[in-house]
């Protein structure tokens, strides 16, 4: 698995994105990836590196293999919103992704 340029051992491909309006507001750092039972847990650390107090939303997208029917390049499979972060403050969020939500079907 790849998330934010880091590798994990679950075998799924993920991309991290921010739902925030100001790309300079946060620094996102991939922390860990754990598969337990039928859920993947992605830990992401968010730091407010901007000039204002604010919130951010971390969005996790999965890529499914392309079959004969074609699929979206990426599908939103999880998201989490931070608390109100002061300048310089960090928060680690855990995004839970049920394995069955990553199922891909083709004829």
Helix (H/G/I), strand (E/B), else coil: 99: helix
pLDDT band at 106 (very low <50, low <70, confident <90, very high): low
| Separation of alpha carbons 81 and 19, rounded Å | 9
Q: Could you report the per-residue pLDDT of 37-85, keeping only the tens digit for each?
A: 889 898 888 888 888 888 888 888 887 767 676 777 778 888 999 999 9
pTM recorded for the entire structure: 0.70
Q: Could you report the per-residue pLDDT of 15-24, keeping only the tens digit for each?
A: 565 555 454 5
Q: Kindly report the CA angle at 31 between 8 and 77, in degrees rounded to 5?
A: 65
């Amino acid at each position: 698995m790849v998330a934010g340029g880091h590798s994990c051992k679950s075998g799924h491909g993920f991309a991290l994105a921010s739902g925030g309006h100001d790309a300079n507001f946060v620094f996102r750092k991939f922390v860990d990836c754990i598969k337990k039972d039928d859920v993947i847990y992605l830990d992401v650390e968010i730091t407010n590196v901007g000039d204002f107090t604010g919130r951010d939303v971390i969005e996790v997208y999965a890529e499914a293999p392309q079959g004969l029917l074609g699929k979206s390049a990426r599908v939103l499979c999880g998201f989490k919103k931070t608390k109100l972060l002061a300048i310089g403050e960090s928060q680690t969020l855990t995004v839970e992704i049920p394995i069955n939500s990553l199922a891909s079907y083709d004829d």
